[in-house]
Amino acid sequence: MTMTQDGAIGEGTLGIEFCGEWHHPVPGTTFSVGRDADLTVDTNQYLHRRLLAFDAEGDLWWMSNTGQTISVSLATPDGAYQAVLGPGARVPLVFPDLAVMFSAGAYTYELAVRNDSASFTGRDPRAVQHEDDGTTTIGAVSLTPSQRLLLIALCEPILRGGMVGASQLPSSAAAAARLGWPLTTFNRKLDNVCDKLDREGVQGLRGGVGKLATNRRARLVEHAILSRLVTPQDLDLLEVASTLGEKGTR
């Protein structure tokens, strides 16, 4: 851990990467991320002018959500630690590496945060277990093959791009067409996946007043990527399903 003699964090210990470019906040100042900020990620009008703020306090770096309506998802690379940072909340950056995701309108954005002063470490990613009945179990969540295909289709732009910055979220119609499914089938399976994850405690997937379909899909994509429910290695399954005209009958 790099600190000054009075116990404060030294300069250059925190790095924030977006689209291959690294930024290093300076202790004693606040580093902002948003539409019009120290790190401007996009001119998207649905994105807050300043959504995130990074600052050092004592011997810790902190990340704050300074927006009003957008929640921010974060996780360690192995998916073992996950959190959703709502507007007005902040969290200490105690892990060496974090993936940070948030969505505004039809776009999802990804940042990498590296903290050289962190004291905690993550663990090795959990192996994906393939059960005899054809389901996939990751942690406590069991997905049928068609449910997994649905997640892969929604996450395809990010899986192909590889956490590089901004990715456009597919519409339900586009994802259904990618799989060769009727839209009604896709929406039914989307409901089933969201209900299943909601029962596991994943926030932001339950419908209701003020819960737009786009917001639910965005939160599902963020969780699937950060928890490693789907990975780039799964894209081959999508190609096979698309070629065969998979109808999602399971």
Question: What is the residue type of 213?
Answer: A
Contact status, residue 237 vs residue 147, Cβ threshold 8 Å: no
Residue that the structure tokens 């998979």 belong to: 246
End-to-end CA distance of the chain: 51
Q: Return the SS3 of 202.
A: coil
Q: Return the SS3 of 55.
A: strand
Q: What is the DSSP letter of 50?
A: S
Residue that the structure tokens 């790099």 belong to: 2
pLDDT of residue 126: 42
Residue 118 has which token pair? 């962190």
Residue that the structure tokens 């490693």 belong to: 228
User: What is the value of pTM for the model shown?
Assistant: 0.78
Q: Specify burial of residue 33 (Cβ count, 10 A radius: 0-12, 13-18, 19+).
A: buried
Instruction: Tell me how far apart the alpha carbons of residues 248 and 182 are, in angstroms, rounded to a whole number.
Output: 9
pLDDT of residue 10: 65
User: How far is C-alpha 36 from the chain's CA centre?
Assistant: 22
Residues in the chain: 250
pLDDT of residue 246: 45
Q: Return the SS3 of 4.
A: coil
User: How far is C-alpha 82 from the chain's CA centre?
Assistant: 9
pLDDT of residue 58: 81
* Helix orientation angle between 172-179 and 183-199, rounded to the nearest 10 degrees: 110
Block means of pLDDT (10 residues each) for the chain, length 250 residues? 51 89 95 97 95 93 95 89 92 94 93 88 47 43 90 93 77 93 94 91 70 76 91 88 54
Nearest partner of 1 among 43, 78, 60, 81, judged by Cα? 60
Nearest partner of 8 among 56, 74, 68, judged by Cα? 56
